[in-house]
Amino acid sequence: MPELPRDLGELDLADPRTFREHDQYEIWRRLRREAPVFWNAPRGGNSGFWALTKYDDVVAVYKDAENYSSERGNVLTTLLAGGDSAVGRMLAVTDGKRHQDLRNVLLKAFSPRALAYVAERVRANTRDRVRAGLDLGTCDFAADVAEKIPINTISDLLGVPDGDRDLLLRLTKTALSSDTESDDPEEAAEESLMARNEILLYFDDLVAERRAKPREDVISTLVQAVVDGRPVSPDDVVFNCYSLIIGGDETSRLTMIGMVPALSANPDQWAALKSGEVSVQSAVEEILRWVSPAMHFGRTAVRDVTVRGQEIAAGDIVTLWNSAANRDEDVFTDAERLDLARTPNRHASFGYGPHFCLGAYLGRTEIGAMLEALRDLVDEMHITAEPERLHSNLLSGITSLQVKLTPRSSN
Ligand code: HEM
């Protein structure tokens, strides 16, 4: 990979090509050290933005809903476009009381108790997929094993019929720009917008069905919910279904895929997992820190603020780089080392504060189920070809991973 420019001002963190041309961790090391409150200069008609890479700064902004708002978007795509059409309606881009009320409705559907049945299905399904990978001998871990686990989980929760899940998976990948036909950022953005609209239209129909005939699923819970004395409007239900699909599919999938190279490159850690020396619970947290599938989230400063002595003006976009915070050497001992037993491990992968990931329990369940299935069923994992990575400014991970899996003899 080419070296980073001497002048960090040449870097554009909004351009996905930056993460194809450079090792992201090299970028984060330099930024944490030389420009922890980095001004990403305006480019191609887009405004500039701040990028925070130190753990303490990232966490402080996540927690500070007084000074920073999510209502002008919470990812670079929408922040740079000047806003998100779902503001005040979709959980992630709603602030204040409305956010809290809506979140309370959803939290009931996402409590560990409510998810017990889904969690059981996830475990069984994950073991089946790992067995299928073992049967193949050499498989593409992304396509043959991990591909459908998260989409099936969220679809179970939302009540999406089996026959529609492949379509939703394809649309979700395109919407998040990880599976576009095009290398051109503008074309990719166009494709992604069309996919988003298709997802919304899809849920329009499903929400209408559930309104007419509620069942035992999250969509039915939402259509029957009352927030602030009024029912949640059908459009708002649609936006929140969209956000659950978008938020819950790719992040979990990329983490499951990313654990394979992490474990195979660290045989001591793989051995410690297999022998039971480290718990699955602590391994889940380290894998989340290590993979950091959601690279950034963002906010808009609502008043003039100061971060590390740097003045940030009201209205400025402030991006929080989880992938950089999670390797901050001032917080994590041997931050560049995979240590499945790491404690404490307060990684920033699920964010912090009022918007802390709603699906964290579900995500952890899925990642834990995959670690357990690999631990119990697989003896060796040998990567047989260079993994294909996705190149995005939002998601980090692998889209194709050829791996030879050898079964544990006790199976
Ligand atoms: C919020 C990461 C899995 C649904 C977030 C945020 C992060 C995150 C960092 C905070 C966004 C912000 O502050 O602007 C992840 C990661 C996951 C994961 C790394 C898996 C490894 C899931 C799953 C679901 C989900 C499985 C649902 C099925 C959501 C929702 C929000 C959210 C609805 C918005 C919460 C709010 O604004 O109150 N996620 N997520 N996520 N996540 Fe996740």
CA distance linking residue 119 with residue 296, whole number of Å? 27
Residue linked to tokens 């920073």: 68
What is the structure's pLDDT at 183?
A: 63
394 touches 250 (CB < 8 A): no
**pLDDT for 192 beyond 90:** no
Is residue 3 included in any domain, yes or no?
no
CA 10 vs CA 29, 33, 382: distances in Å:
16, 17, 38
Longest dimension (CA), the chain: 62
Q: Mind listing the pLDDT tens digit for each residue in 325-372?
A: 999 999 999 999 999 999 999 999 999 999 999 999 999 999 999 999
Domain contains 57: yes
Percent of the chain residues past pLDDT 90, beyond the cut: 85
* Structural domain contains residue 227: yes
The CATH number assigned to the domain holding 295 equals 1.10.630.10
The two structure tokens encoding residue 167: 């379509």
Confidence of residue 6 (pLDDT cuts 50, 70, 90): confident
Which residue range forms the structural domain that includes residue 276? Answer: 8-407
- Does residue 21 form part of some domain? yes
Residue that wins the pLDDT comparison between 116 and 2: 116
Beta pairing partners, 406: 380
Residues 161-186 have a mean pLDDT of: 80
Identify whether 366 is part of a domain: yes
Is 2 within the bounds of a domain?
Answer: no
pLDDT category at 205 given cuts 50, 70, 90 is very high
DSSP state of 171: H
Residue reference for tokens 């059409």: 85
Ligand 1 centroid to Cα of residue 159, in Å, is 19
User: Is 1 within a domain?
Assistant: no
pLDDT of residue 265: 97
- Identify the residue with better confidence: 45 or 341: 341
The total number of structural domains in the chain stands at: 1
In short, whether 252's Cβ falls inside 6 Å of ligand 1 is yes
Distance CA 84, CA 102 (A): 18
Q: Is residue 23 part of a domain?
A: yes
Ligand 1 close to Cβ of residue 151 (< 6 A): no
**CA 191–ligand 1 middle distance (angstroms):** 23
Cα(358) to ligand 1 centroid in Å equals 5
Ligand 1 pocket member 349 (CB < 6 A): yes
Q: What residues contact residue 343 under an 8 Å CB cut-off, 6+ apart?
A: 282
pLDDT score for 112: 85
Instruction: State if residue 246 touches ligand 1 by the CB under 6 angstroms criterion.
Output: no
With beta carbons less than 8 A apart as the criterion, state whether 259 and 285 touch.
no
**ipTM given for this complex:** 0.99
d(CA 316, CA 234): 33
Q: What is the pTM (predicted TM-score) of this model? A: 0.96
Window from 2-11, 127-136, 337-346 with minimum mean pLDDT = 2-11
